[in-house]
Amino acid sequence: MPPSTPEADDTAYRQAVARAAADPDVLGAILVGSRAIGAPFVRDGSDWDLRLVVRDAALDAAETRHGTPHGSRVEVALIRLGTFEGLADPGSPAAWDRPSYLHAVLALDKLDGGIRTRLDALARLEPASARRVAAFALDGYVNAYQRSRKNAAVGLPVEAHLDATESMEPLLTFLFAAHERVRPFNRHLGFDLRHAPLGEGWLAADVFLPRLDELLSSGSLEFQAALFRDIEGLAREHGNGDVIDSWEPDVPALRGREV
């Protein structure tokens, strides 16, 4: 877990939090991005990405008082409380931003722990939600892998490679959802895998990341089949075997028997 407070000597950041604390329309302040995670992501010139949670009806007025232009030393963005709460729903239009809060630092909570509770809820998927997300993502991964196989079979190597690459997005979503976790942004993938491993063996960061790099580089059907075999085992272990079975009679080929 990153440090609970930012560097004390950053005056602009501290002033932004102080202004938020003095505004009754602001309910919480959350630091996200590289400054929240700390090393190895903070570099010279790294900005401060501050999210302010505001009363639903006060967004426009609060935006005028606190919002800053993109590229500011302290970038302040505002979010309605209702939208912030909705981030926990994978179907929310704003759910794409949920990974921003995985390593967040809570700077202000005027709801007597209510912002903290909501923030903590964004870090993990509820079991029922995780099962739905995992099943949907797993099917998307197999679909893209199958398209890659079919394109390769008819002499379309570039198209096959593109599908292999596209299969990685749902694959990563499945891997994290199977463990009731939210998939991080790509920038933080290696960090998350090393600091909060998904598992041992092929799931270990030092094993999985080179395999991922090789697959993205080559699009090799051999590599894809080997990965599918591991994914199938994990899927059955986590109760998603029905998704794999829905791809019969192609499952033996997906395992690489035709490669």
Could you tell me which of 29, 197, 21, 19 has the C-alpha nearest to residue 101? 29
Same domain for 58 and 117: yes
Same domain for 196 and 134: yes
Question: Domain containing 104: what range?
Answer: 11-121
Token look-up 């398209």 returns 147
Q: How far apart are CA 68 and CA 13, in angstroms?
A: 12
CA dihedral 163, 169, 172, 178 (to 10 degrees): -100
pLDDT at 258 over 60: no
Strands 48-54 and 74-80: parallel
Token pair listed for 142: 């197999």
| Residue 5 placed within a domain | no
Residue 215 near residue 223, CB atoms below 8 Å = yes
> Given this model, what pLDDT does residue 27 score?
98
| Residue 48 placed within a domain | yes
Residue 80 near residue 54, CB atoms below 8 Å = yes
CATH number at residue 101: 3.30.460.10
For the segment 195-237, what is each residue's pLDDT rounded down to a tens digit? Answer: 999 999 999 999 999 999 999 999 999 999 999 999 999 999 9
Same domain for 102 and 24: yes
Region 107-122: mean pLDDT is: 96
Token look-up 């379309």 returns 156
Provide the domain count of the chain. 2
Within the chain, what is the greatest distance between any pair of CA atoms?
66
**What are the distances in angstroms from CA 215 to CA 49, 189, 208?**
33, 16, 11
Same domain for 78 and 165: no
| Residue 214 placed within a domain | yes
pLDDT at 1 over 80: no
Q: Which of 90, 121, 152 is where one domain is finished?
A: 121
| Residue 66 placed within a domain | yes
Q: What count of other Cβ atoms lies within 10 Å of the Cβ of residue 194? A: 12
Q: Which of 95, 121, 147 is where one domain is finished?
A: 121
pTM, entire model: 0.89
Could you tell me which of 192, 191, 193 has the C-alpha nearest to residue 201? 193
